[in-house]
Chain A
């Protein structure tokens, strides 16, 4: 053990090093234990020097330590033990109870007497490792954040593309109504480019067809219920006015505070045209272009109510083409249709005030509704119609009533004093018509109330 003693004196230099240092001899006996190791392990050098390293630290009995350290004594170069692969060589407990990370090097050293020693230098890399770990965590977090932001951006890009290319016009304004965003369809529908729209307000599009009251109501509903859907008229850049279906909703920011208004609208001009077409189809008789029976019933009802409200008279003519079946038998159905069309056109000429209505009531039966017309005037109109039809001189040799097509008409008039229901008016006119026919046709009969 002479080498041990001589070695020991030489090693005291390592006491002042801030790294753990220890020396063992060939028999793995500890010959030196420095000040830092005393602090780290709490083991006094006087107690540990002379003892076996493997007995004191049994973890070093593993091949990956013992075998590599043994080689130091047979001429191998220094052995390195990275904290990446081995947490530590000498277990040192940290304040938090976990073991400190160490990078260690075991180096051969030959004493002047030729004895080989193995010197351990142990560096505490716990803080360094922690800093590296923190850095890696930070980096991972940053990468995660970037990925999430990319996802959000991707979503925003997608939504922007959808808004930009949707068939609906889109307007987004700030809380003051200044236009911030419009899409392609906005320009297509209104004719205003994005540049022209931005900074303006949607008042730019007002048609003048709605009063302030309409807009005030709309805004009140938006702010109270958070939504408004409806149709109104707007004006394009070229001055033309068009109907649009619009939904408007407020947009809140992350704190629930109003930040924008979003309007989505559709030009419904085409739809309006179709709707008008359908309305006409549903109220008009296809052959004659006068009202059909259904529209007559509806209008009669309306006029009946108005008559009662306004205390004005309401007259109804019930008209039938005389001997029409014989006309059909003589000239065929196509000619019959033409005859009905001629009569209908004539009737239109006698019912041309607003509110007047001519309707095809049955096959060759027509009604003429005359609001505000009293019995005397109704009788005059009926008489004019009858003579007008006869003067059309549509030949009808088999009629037996006249050489030409003729009509019979029943006239009924109601004032507020009598007639309880609309259907009673029809009934009275029908009775009058029957009387006219019974009296020989090509004449009118006025129902005389008692």
Chain B
């Protein structure tokens, strides 16, 4: 599973490398099974700081949500790097939503593309949404808080630009089973 996510993340890194003048460094993802979404939310992952997040829920043969999360200062640095604007430009904030939406689109698509390719099943994606909130605010949803979740987590950074981001894939446990069985059938 980590390998599949890694393939997608690697592809996204290649695309971003071309768009940003600087090498995008991505860590090998970690996979964790958590007792509940609530447990994840209450975890100490980001403390209470404000985050910029592109969020894309999906359902169908897979149910869950993909998150691309940046600390706010990293988000602005990334927008500056992609648009060529100065970091202190007053226009940066208005460009942020559009730019981060596309970055989220690139990374999430790459990862979901990898998974979809293996599953060969239909996944229905919702429209990506941009959000600024704390980590627990971002994770709040209508989904049953007590359902078990699987967390795929990786860090990526662009050292030269002082940018750090996190990609979180949250699968509900029932749907994750189908991923695993698909992977099993491949081997």
Instruction: Judge whether A136 and B91 touch: CB under 8 Å.
Output: yes
A62-B18, A74-B114 given. 7 additional CB < 8 A pairs? A64-B18, A68-B110, A71-B110, A74-B116, A75-B119, A77-B56, A77-B125
* Known pairs A64-B18, A85-B19, A136-B91; A77 contacts B102 (CB<8 A): no
Instruction: Judge whether B98 and A76 touch: CB under 8 Å.
Output: no
Cβ of A59 under 8 Å from chain B: no
CA of A68 to CA of B18, assembled, Å: 12
CA of A85 to CA of B19, assembled, Å: 8
Instruction: Judge whether A64 and B112 touch: CB under 8 Å.
Output: no
Specify the chain B residue showing the minimal Cβ separation from A77. Answer: B125
Cβ of B63 under 8 Å from chain A: no
B96-119 residues with Cβ-Cβ distance < 8 A to A are: 98-99, 101-102, 105-106, 108-110, 112-117, 119
CA of A403 to CA of B19, assembled, Å: 126
Cβ of B95 under 8 Å from chain A: yes
Cβ of A424 under 8 Å from chain B: no
Cβ of B33 under 8 Å from chain A: no
Q: Which residues of B contact A67 (CB under 8 A)?
A: 11, 14-15, 110
Instruction: Judge whether B99 and A82 touch: CB under 8 Å.
Output: yes
Instruction: Judge whether A84 and B95 touch: CB under 8 Å.
Output: yes
| Total count of chain A residues near the partner, CB < 8 A | 19
Q: Which residues of B contact A80 (CB under 8 A)?
A: 101-102, 105, 128
> Counting chain B CB atoms within 10 Å of each CB, which of A62, A64, A67, A71 scores highest?
A71
Instruction: Judge whether A75 and B98 touch: CB under 8 Å.
Output: no
Specify the chain A residue showing the minimal Cβ separation from B121. Answer: A75
Specify the chain A residue showing the minimal Cβ separation from B105. Answer: A80
Cβ of A78 under 8 Å from chain B: yes
Instruction: Judge whether A85 and B18 touch: CB under 8 Å.
Output: no
Q: Which residues of B contact A62 (CB under 8 A)?
A: 18
Q: Which residues of A contact B156 (CB under 8 A)?
A: none
Specify the chain A residue showing the minimal Cβ separation from B119. Answer: A75
* Known pairs A67-B14, A74-B116; A84 contacts B99 (CB<8 A): yes
Contact with B along A62-105 (1 / 0, CB 8 A): 11100110010011111111101100000000000000000000
A142 to chain B, nearest CB (A): 12
Q: Which residues of B contact A85 (CB under 8 A)?
A: 19, 82-83, 99, 102
Interface size of B as a range: 20 to 34
Instruction: Judge whether B112 and A76 touch: CB under 8 Å.
Output: yes
Q: Tell me the B residues contacting A by CB distance below 8 Å.
A: 11, 14-15, 18-19, 56, 58, 82-83, 91, 95, 98-99, 101-102, 105-106, 108-110, 112-117, 119-123, 125, 128
Instruction: Judge whether B15 and A68 touch: CB under 8 Å.
Output: yes
Instruction: Judge whether A75 and B113 touch: CB under 8 Å.
Output: yes
**Choice from B83, B106, B121, B128 contacting A68 with Cβ under 8 Å:** B106
Instruction: Judge whether A77 and B101 touch: CB under 8 Å.
Output: no
A217 to chain B, nearest CB (A): 61
B156 to chain A, nearest CB (A): 16
Specify the chain B residue showing the minimal Cβ separation from A110. Answer: B122
- Top 10 A-B pairs ranked by shortest CB distance? A75-B116, A76-B113, A71-B113, A77-B125, A74-B117, A76-B109, A64-B18, A82-B102, A64-B15, A80-B105
Instruction: Judge whether B14 and A79 touch: CB under 8 Å.
Output: no
Q: Which residues of A contact B116 (CB under 8 A)?
A: 74-76
Instruction: Judge whether A84 and B83 touch: CB under 8 Å.
Output: yes
* Known pairs A63-B14, A68-B109, A84-B95; A75 contacts B102 (CB<8 A): no
Specify the chain A residue showing the minimal Cβ separation from B115. Answer: A75
A67 to chain B, nearest CB (A): 6
CA of A64 to CA of B12, assembled, Å: 9
Instruction: Judge whether A63 and B83 touch: CB under 8 Å.
Output: no
Instruction: Judge whether B117 and A75 touch: CB under 8 Å.
Output: yes
Q: Which residues of B contact A136 (CB under 8 A)?
A: 91
Q: Which residues of B contact A76 (CB under 8 A)?
A: 109-110, 112-113, 116
B166 to chain A, nearest CB (A): 20
Some 14 contacts from A to B, beta carbons below 8 A apart, are A62-B18, A63-B15, A67-B110, A68-B15, A68-B109, A74-B117, A77-B108, A77-B125, A79-B106, A80-B101, A80-B105, A85-B83, A110-B122, A136-B91
Contact with B along A309-327 (1 / 0, CB 8 A): 0000000000000000000
A207 to chain B, nearest CB (A): 62
CA of A71 to CA of B99, assembled, Å: 20
Q: Which residues of A contact B58 (CB under 8 A)?
A: 77
Q: Which residues of A contact B115 (CB under 8 A)?
A: 75
Instruction: Judge whether B102 and A64 touch: CB under 8 Å.
Output: no
A179 to chain B, nearest CB (A): 47
CA of A75 to CA of B108, assembled, Å: 12
CA of A76 to CA of B112, assembled, Å: 6
CA of A426 to CA of B56, assembled, Å: 121
CA of A74 to CA of B120, assembled, Å: 8
CA of A79 to CA of B117, assembled, Å: 16
Q: Which residues of A contact B101 (CB under 8 A)?
A: 80, 82
Specify the chain A residue showing the minimal Cβ separation from B82. Answer: A85
Q: Which residues of A contact B82 (CB under 8 A)?
A: 84-85
Instruction: Judge whether B117 and A64 touch: CB under 8 Å.
Output: no
Contact with B along A53-65 (1 / 0, CB 8 A): 0000000001110
**Choice from B83, B105, B114, B123 contacting A79 with Cβ under 8 Å:** B105
Instruction: Judge whether A81 and B102 touch: CB under 8 Å.
Output: yes
Q: Which residues of A contact B110 (CB under 8 A)?
A: 67-68, 71, 76
**Choice from B91, B106, B112 contacting A75 with Cβ under 8 Å:** B112
* Known pairs A67-B14, A71-B109, A85-B82; A78 contacts B125 (CB<8 A): yes
CA of A57 to CA of B34, assembled, Å: 47
**Choice from B98, B117, B119, B120 contacting A82 with Cβ under 8 Å:** B98
